[in-house]
Chains A and B, each alone.
Chain A
């Protein structure tokens, strides 16, 4: 069994936390795809019914905000990893 000094252990923890923050942000793919899909469908809706533009945009923004939750969770996890564990 190899004994590590405390400095080495701290460095390993920092490196792992920073890597983890990077991996956590892979979740950003999901909201990107989801919000783009919602926006595309909203464009279709506006093209079909230009008079319902205001309602469609409000509904689209609400749906996108809910779809964004997962991305925001990963962002919070990444922030916690970077600023509280890796320092």
Chain B
């Protein structure tokens, strides 16, 4: 019994480059998002209908969340934050299909996203205050607390990514245990809870906390 990502094949037959099932499903999610975005924006109308309507609703919702935390920065931060929202949202929801592994139930995926948010937030902070002015912010309120602030800053991407990873893996393990004990009716409500509700809430939370981290670094 191994709940972790399974190695499916090796890139170029090289043992050092394993390709796991979570990675393959992450590619599938990316392709679905790209094709969906192309379809939604193919024939744009002034009065949206169908897929374009849904796409505009999603983008506007994310835009408003960014504007609420970082006024005036919504247009610039939208591509990064919306990518996080859409990729994690769809990655969490695909687990609803039996046999599909959540790409987010893999620490490599979530830690990658968490490190991306970490780099972007500090880049934004340095851009706003200048490198020296930004580093001085770590010495607040007294200079003795500098190492403590640095450690606290380094803990952010870890807690950020482990939260998503733990939620998805925990749900996956519980569903796997139920499948081995009672493979019929019982897993259905658990799938609905862990994949649809927890998945949607965790995607929202990951995105909101990413916005909050960037907003804090810009202060």
Q: Which residues of chain B from 167 to 185 have a CB within 8 Å of any chain A CB?
A: 167, 169-170, 173
Are the C-beta atoms of B162 and A76 separated by less than 8 Å? yes
Are the C-beta atoms of A76 and B166 separated by less than 8 Å? yes
Are the C-beta atoms of B163 and A61 separated by less than 8 Å? no
Instruction: Write the nearest CB–CB distance from A44 to chain B, whole angstroms.
Output: 21
Q: Which residues of chain A from 51 to 75 have a CB within 8 Å of any chain B CB?
A: 58, 61-62, 65-66, 68-69, 72-73, 75
Distance, CA A5 to CA B69, complexed state (A) = 61
Are the C-beta atoms of B165 and A76 separated by less than 8 Å? yes
Instruction: Write the nearest CB–CB distance from A30 to chain B, whole angstroms.
Output: 14
**Given known A72-B162, A72-B166, A76-B166, contact A62–B4 (CB-CB < 8 A):** no
**Residue in A58, A65, A79, A83 whose beta carbon sits within 8 Å of that of B163 in the complex:** A65
Contact partners of B4 in chain A: CB under 8 A: 83
Interface size class of A (residues with CB under 8 A): 10 to 19
Query: Is B204 interfacial (CB-CB < 8 Å)?
Result: yes
For A59, the closest partner residue in chain B by CB is B208
Interface size class of B (residues with CB under 8 A): 10 to 19
Distance, CA A79 to CA B205, complexed state (A) = 23
Are the C-beta atoms of B205 and A62 separated by less than 8 Å? yes
**Given known A62-B209, A69-B159, contact A75–B166 (CB-CB < 8 A):** yes
For B160, the closest partner residue in chain A by CB is A69
Binary per-residue interface labels of chain B (136-168) against chain A in the complex, 1 for a CB within 8 Å, 0 otherwise: 000000000000000000000001001101110
Are the C-beta atoms of A62 and B208 separated by less than 8 Å? yes
Are the C-beta atoms of B166 and A61 separated by less than 8 Å? no
Are the C-beta atoms of B162 and A65 separated by less than 8 Å? no
Contact partners of B209 in chain A: CB under 8 A: 62, 65-66
Are the C-beta atoms of A83 and B2 separated by less than 8 Å? yes
9 further A-B contacts with Cβ under 8 Å, apart from A58-B208, A61-B201, A68-B163, are A61-B205, A62-B205, A62-B208, A65-B201, A68-B167, A72-B162, A72-B167, A73-B159, A73-B166
Q: Which A residues lie at the B interface, using CB under 8 A?
A: 58, 61-62, 65-66, 68-69, 72-73, 75-76, 79, 83
Interface pairs (14), CB distance under 8 Å: A61-B204, A61-B205, A62-B205, A62-B209, A65-B209, A68-B163, A72-B162, A72-B166, A72-B167, A73-B166, A76-B166, A76-B169, A83-B2, A83-B3
